[in-house]
Structure 1
Amino acid sequence: MARYTCSFIVSVPIDHLQALLLELLQDCGLDVQYYTADYIMAREIPGNVSFSQLVTVEVLVDKSSATETETRMSIVIKNETLPLQLNNHCRQVFDFVRQTIEQSRHWHLIESISG
């Protein structure tokens, strides 16, 4: 199973973050399946790749360490195929979502760590 992770610290009020993330994920072509105040799960819409290559995105918001000006969040992007090539479909979606978060005009990116 391919799995990529990244953590961010963004400067945005926590009560605005969820709506901004939902919009961002939908703009990335993902279908939001489930969300709570500190968790969002979205999936790639079927049709462009095989079923096993469909990507799932999970966003975890760390509400316990959030301040009025900074919020930490982590994303996990995964699918069911083995990452036999460095430039696989899951990695491409991960890079796209990560860049979209880093370049979003809705917040100021303080820190980004890919793992």
Structure 2
Amino acid sequence: MYYQDRMMMERQIIRDTAEGIMVTNKNLEIVDVNPAFSNITGYTKEEVSGNTPKMLQSGKQSKEFYQEMWVQIKKNGYWQGEIWNKRKNGEIYPELLTISPIENSVGSIAYYVGIFNDISQKKNK
């Protein structure tokens, strides 16, 4: 597969997936989100760019919860779990979230990617 075809395919997958995707730089500033992110949270890419994921925090998790999450990311290379976040309209909702670091060509962390599903309907059953 040619490089250009592969890049086009990858962009389409990210654009069309039902999972929300957020990419931050190593300083945790949001640099990109996909359309599903906007559909789930209510925020546009423009509204979140340059902010940190803290803007989505619901207040349901403690400071210690987030500290342990980052310990696990550093230890295991990822974290997956359930978290409660807040939409633009103020509604608090549960999501299943996976956070993974993305390394650059010299092996340093350059980005973090968060991929999540809104699990509200599953929790309401």
Q: TM-score range by the shorter chain?
A: 0.3 to 0.5
- The structure where strand makes up a greater share of residues is 1
**Relative CO higher for 1 or 2, CA cutoff 8 Å, sep ≥ 6?**
1
- The structure where helix makes up a greater share of residues is 2
What is the TM-score when the length of structure 1 is the normalising length? 0.35
What is the TM-score when the length of structure 2 is the normalising length? 0.33
